[in-house]
Chains A and B, each alone.
Chain A
Amino acid sequence: MWALYTRDVRLGVRAGGGALTGIVFFLAVVAVVPFGVGPDLNLLARIGPAMLWIAALLSVLLGLDRLFQADREDGSLDLLLMAGERQMPALTVLVKCLAHWTASVLPLVVAAPLLGILMNMEPAAIGAAVLTLLVGTPAITFIGAAGAAVAVALPRGGQLVSVLVLPLAIPVLIFGVSASYAAVTDPTPFLPPFLILCALTLFFAVVGPLGAALALRWASD
């Protein structure tokens, strides 16, 4: 399993891996917002965490459709599934998700503080946004894996994946953003929404790979 993880991370960061696309998209979306809403610093600070989250959500979705499609095209998906007796397919999917997250989502989280400054967010708000992104984005990857598995046989499944996945990702977005806001607005407590976010990630870490493995099993023809 470690071999699969290192292979996928390596593929993600090498030429043509697509990890860079998500990061560039993330930077572009967040950098464009101040131009769109104008130089109102208070407004920027208020919408900052939400913009970071929305941009992160969209850029995670951008690369997800290739999660299984690349493996299907060169035949390795068949071989990965055939090893199911030794390596549980759901576990294989989980490892692929983690590798995908490491290669193409973790850099977004790392870049988020920089963009927080761009949005005139205060340090506490930046910290909270980064923390919630760190905890919440894996959930989006796990949900997306199920969507990517359903659309694996379709030539242009990318849009379908986004549409399939978006409704399920909404709760993650809601609790991610509310936790980020709770860290800076005084009366609302930070922990409850943050813990719900953690719970969502753990929940989807189980449900997503299981669903994806099931979908892949029936998609192979």
Chain B
Amino acid sequence: MRLVADNLAGERGGEPVFAGVSFSLDEGQALAVTGPNGAGKTTLLRIVAGLLPAAGGSVRLERPLHHASHGPPPPLRRGGYGGEEWPTPQAAAHLLSHQNGMKTALTVEENLRFWRAFLGEPHLEVAEALEMVGLGDIGHLPFGYLSTGQKRRAAIARLLVSYRPLWLLDEPTAGLDAASERQFAALMEAHLEDGGMILAATHLPLGIEGAGELRMGGGA
């Protein structure tokens, strides 16, 4: 499976933000989207997520070529290859935006259990996912009681409880301390090894080896 953006253009409130952005992302690859504030990084992620219409160009998921040929079928992996299971980038993506998407009145566990059931494709157990982000012992607390960094980590745990091959991350490490950043880098690497894809808007280095970079908005 391959994510291809072709000559993508985005606008916000009628104002063009960027144009002519093309990239492609193969399984196991990460791409860091960098650029100054207002360059359209978030807009780009939201267009890929299907939440904003593209002002021009297109973004799509392509199946690998050998899938259609008569060669031996590729080994079946978690999530399978493109096609029916992940018809659009939106269906294949997890979005970690600036908001964490959690309810303050519910406990962390209740929040994650809900997303696990609602998003489908259950992956890790809630307790396991919390363990992975280092929140193993506070799952019973209401989400509203958590600190900024802990909230972020709980939101990251959402990426783990339900499987999606494509992770769209918007400033994923905002509010995280150095140790949690390293922990998250390890999680991202594990996801890439599993054949996942990562598109991250960030000002800081991702901490993943071999991550590509897409610079946006030099002249804007």
Does B120 lie within 8 Å of A83, measured CB to CB? yes
Residue from B91, B103, B104, B117 whose CB has the most chain A CB atoms within 10 Å: B103
Nearest-CB residue, chain B, relative to A221: B52
A1-32 vs B, CB cutoff 8 Å, 1 = contact: the mask equals: 11110110011001111000000000000000
Nearest-CB residue, chain B, relative to A7: B114
Q: Looking at the assembled complex, report how far the CB atom of B162 sits from the nearest CB atom of chain A, in whole angstroms.
A: 9
With contacts A3-B117, A3-B118, A221-B12 known, is A82 near B95, CB below 8 A?
Answer: yes
The answer to the question of B88 belonging to the interface, with a C-beta cut-off of 8 Å to chain A, is yes
Does A78 lie within 8 Å of B105, measured CB to CB? no
Q: Looking at the assembled complex, report how far the CB atom of B165 sits from the nearest CB atom of chain A, in whole angstroms.
A: 13
Does A81 lie within 8 Å of B51, measured CB to CB? yes
Does A79 lie within 8 Å of B95, measured CB to CB? yes
Does A14 lie within 8 Å of B12, measured CB to CB? no
Bound Cα distance from A10 to B105, whole angstroms: 9
With contacts A85-B88, A85-B91 known, is A76 near B105, CB below 8 A?
Answer: no
Q: Is the interface on chain A under 10, 10 to 19, 20 to 34, or 35 or more residues? A: 20 to 34
Say which residue of B97, B100, B114 sits within 8 Å of A3 (CB atoms). B114
Does A74 lie within 8 Å of B102, measured CB to CB? yes
Within 8 A of A (CB), among B1-50: 12-13, 46, 49-50
Contacts of B50 in A (CB 8 A): 82
Say which residue of A15, A76, A85 sits within 8 Å of B101 (CB atoms). A76
The answer to the question of A84 belonging to the interface, with a C-beta cut-off of 8 Å to chain B, is yes
The answer to the question of A167 belonging to the interface, with a C-beta cut-off of 8 Å to chain B, is no
Contacts of A4 in B (CB 8 A): 114, 118
Contacts of A76 in B (CB 8 A): 99, 101-103
Say which residue of B51, B52, B103, B117 sits within 8 Å of A74 (CB atoms). B103
Bound Cα distance from A190 to B106, whole angstroms: 44
Nearest-CB residue, chain B, relative to A217: B51
The answer to the question of A122 belonging to the interface, with a C-beta cut-off of 8 Å to chain B, is no
Q: Is the interface on chain B under 10, 10 to 19, 20 to 34, or 35 or more residues? A: 20 to 34
Contacts of A15 in B (CB 8 A): 105
B181-207 vs A, CB cutoff 8 Å, 1 = contact: the mask equals: 000000000000000000000000000
Bound Cα distance from A1 to B119, whole angstroms: 10
Contacts of B118 in A (CB 8 A): 1, 3-4, 80, 83, 87
Contacts of A80 in B (CB 8 A): 118
B44-84 vs A, CB cutoff 8 Å, 1 = contact: the mask equals: 00100111100000000000000000000000000000000
Contacts of B213 in A (CB 8 A): none
Nearest-CB residue, chain A, relative to B164: A82
Nearest-CB residue, chain B, relative to A85: B91
Does B101 lie within 8 Å of A17, measured CB to CB? no
Contacts of B117 in A (CB 8 A): 2-3
The answer to the question of B93 belonging to the interface, with a C-beta cut-off of 8 Å to chain A, is yes
Bound Cα distance from A10 to B142, whole angstroms: 13
Contacts of B46 in A (CB 8 A): 221
The answer to the question of A42 belonging to the interface, with a C-beta cut-off of 8 Å to chain B, is no
Contacts of A188 in B (CB 8 A): none
Q: Looking at the assembled complex, report how far the CB atom of B71 sits from the nearest CB atom of chain A, in whole angstroms.
A: 29
Q: Looking at the assembled complex, report how far the CB atom of B90 sits from the nearest CB atom of chain A, in whole angstroms.
A: 6
Given contacts A14-B105, A76-B102, 17 further A-B contacts (CB under 8 A): A1-B118, A7-B106, A7-B114, A74-B104, A75-B98, A78-B49, A78-B51, A78-B95, A82-B93, A83-B119, A83-B120, A85-B88, A86-B91, A86-B120, A87-B118, A221-B13, A221-B52
**Interface positions of A (Cβ within 8 A of B):** 1-4, 6-7, 10-11, 14-17, 73-76, 78-87, 220-221
**What would 17 A/B residue contacts be, using CB atoms closer than 8 Å?**
A1-B118, A2-B117, A10-B110, A11-B103, A74-B99, A74-B100, A74-B102, A75-B100, A75-B101, A76-B103, A78-B95, A78-B97, A82-B95, A83-B118, A85-B90, A220-B52, A221-B46
